[in-house]
Amino acid sequence: MIHSPLITLLIGILLFLIFVGRHYIKDFIHAPKGSFDGISDREMIDKAVGVLNERFGKPFRSYVFPADIADILKREPDSEYALNIFLQSVAAHCGYDRKSLMLRLYGEEKGMPPGRIQKLGSSYLMELHMDYEENTACVLSVVVHEFCHFFLSESGIELVNTLENEVLTDTAAVYFGFYEIMREGYKPNLRSVSDGKNQWHRVGYLNVDNIDYVHRTVL
């Protein structure tokens, strides 16, 4: 026979799920169409892998995220210094000297992409327009994506179709060894908004399933 304290506990858990968990379910149901799907054209992904194999021969080794950078970002998620060191580490992993590429942090701005690169004379500026406190993994994945745009261009690779080029860039991020960072950063996550509610949010062109597909393909 179940004792009454246990029944009370079970009822409490059930009420919690009904009155609190339903908000998360509601957020999931009302997530913008396509928020979780991303681009699922695997023929386009396979084409990107072929382009990368033709240029680089084989996938790069897996990137190891430096512990000292992780420690700084844990204390200061908006540390421009730490993210510049991360960018330097990413470039070095790909065998590129990134002296001509600098990173600056800006706040989120409506209509602005989370990341972009601009040419300034003989140098380049990578800009981030994000909420750095919300999800560090997401920020790291955007840095990698933008660097891969730059690195591919510097390597003479750029597909004409914009969508194909974005798929190429996400595919390249995994090909270059950043699978774990991209997979974690591209996961959908709940974000708090001004009215106190939560909204689902994700970045990236490929979703997690297709990041995994690229990883399996290039192993």
| CB 41, CB 193: distance < 8 Å | no
Q: Which two tokens stand for residue 217?
A: 């393909």
| CB 126, CB 102: distance < 8 Å | yes
115-135 pLDDT per residue, tens: 999 888 889 999 999 989 889
Flag whether pLDDT at 110 surpasses 90: no
Closest CA to 93 of 51, 54, 61: 61
| CB 48, CB 164: distance < 8 Å | yes
- pLDDT at residue 161, rounded to an integer: 74
Q: Which two tokens stand for residue 86?
A: 């991360």
Helices (H) then strands (E): counts for the chain: 9, 5
Helix, coil or strand: residue 143: helix
Task: Mean pLDDT check: name the lowest of 3-7, 90-94, 172-176.
Answer: 3-7
